[in-house]
Amino acid sequence: MAIVAPSLLAANFLRLEEDCKMLNESEADWFHLDVMDGRFVPNISYGPMIIEFIRKTTNKPCDVHLMILEPEKFAEEFKKAGADHVSVHIEVCPNLHRNIQQIKSLGMQAGVAINPHTPVSSLIDVLQDIDIVCLMSVNPGYGAQKFIPHSLSKIRELRKLIDNWNLPVLIEVDGGVTLENAKDIIAAGADVLVAGNTVFQSKDPKATISQLRAIETAKTL
């Protein structure tokens, strides 16, 4: 059974409290929180202050995805805001192992995110040190994009690495996840489904979350 992490980026910020309440009442496992700086990605979303308010609404894990340059400057702020997991992008961290150590020293789970063009092999030297790989299946920066089909091959490759080394690392797939492709994504080896528009644009978001969470399929490598 997949972990379902609805992305608040797709929520209605005029009624954010209501959307948080809906997620709390649903079968959603995590709150996925996308932070964009307008520099690493061509968009700006929100920062620690909004996450602090969201944190007050829930006891569910807050999964923070930093799409920002120099994430080490803000890690402590996100911890104070209530982040349980923080993922940083490999593409912006020249001293990635130091970033991972910093996140863990603050008492959070550490994740590494990779863009669609970044090879899975780039994770080999840190895979044993992290808790989550956030595999981007769209180009980061905007919601409502279509899933990049090649991502399935990358998920399978990553699943083999993790299983061969017997590591407790979760594969989180972020971008273009729908009810139609979720089964293939899980079958390829994903553990966590990040779903934004699929949940928040649904006529019945709670039912959609339940459907995503109920998808079961044997992983095919």
Q: Could you give the CA distance from residue 63 to residue 28 in angstroms, rounded to a whole number?
A: 12
**CA 160 to centroid of chain Cα atoms:** 20
Q: What crossing angle do the helices spanning 16-25 and 205-214 adopt, rounded to 10°?
A: 40
Q: Could you give the CA distance from residue 171 to residue 71 in angstroms, rounded to a whole number?
A: 21
For the record, the structure tokens of 48 come out as 């620690």
Q: Could you give the CA distance from residue 95 to residue 102 in angstroms, rounded to a whole number?
A: 11
**Which of 34, 37, 131, 191 is flagged as catalytic?**
34
**What is the β-pairing status of strands 85-89 and 62-67?**
parallel
Q: How far apart are the first and last CA of the chain?
A: 17
Which residues, including other chains, have CB under 8 Å from residue 145's CB and lie 6 or more apart?
138, 139, 175, 176
Is 191 one of the catalytic residues? no
**Which of 19, 37, 63, 174 is flagged as catalytic?**
174
Is 184 one of the catalytic residues? no
- Specify whether the CB–CB gap between 117 and 137 falls below 8 A: no
Active site residues: 34, 174
